[in-house]
Amino acid sequence: MVTLESQIEGAGLEVLEWYRTGDVARIAGVARETICRWCDSGRLGHLRLGVQRRIYLVHLQAWWDEAGRGTADT
């Protein structure tokens, strides 16, 4: 089973309280614009600070679990 923490570390990042959209894109293996769309559509919880988005670890974990990513073998 792939854990979110191992995916974060595999992306060369530390496990932190929050991440920028570019960081989450690296973790998820998608484009930053995709993360922005997921945030705007409500698919991925986040906090908006002006034009910037912050994705908290709890929101990222909820998305990870809901997407079933923790059940994939890689």
Minimal CA–CA distance to 55: which of 10, 13, 25, 14?
25
The whole-number pLDDT of residue 74 equals 34
Residue 16 lies in a domain: yes
Residue 52 lies in a domain: yes
- Quick: pLDDT tens for 24-71: 999 999 999 999 999 999 999 999 999 999 999 999 999 999 887 754
Q: Is-contact 27 14, C-beta < 8 A?
A: no
Residue 69 lies in a domain: no
The whole-number pLDDT of residue 17 equals 95
Q: What is the pTM of this model?
A: 0.85
Measured distance CA(2)–CA(60) in Å, rounded? 14
Residue 32 lies in a domain: yes
Range of the domain at 42: 4-63
The whole-number pLDDT of residue 72 equals 41
- Quick: pLDDT tens for 3-27: 999 999 999 999 999 999 999 999 9
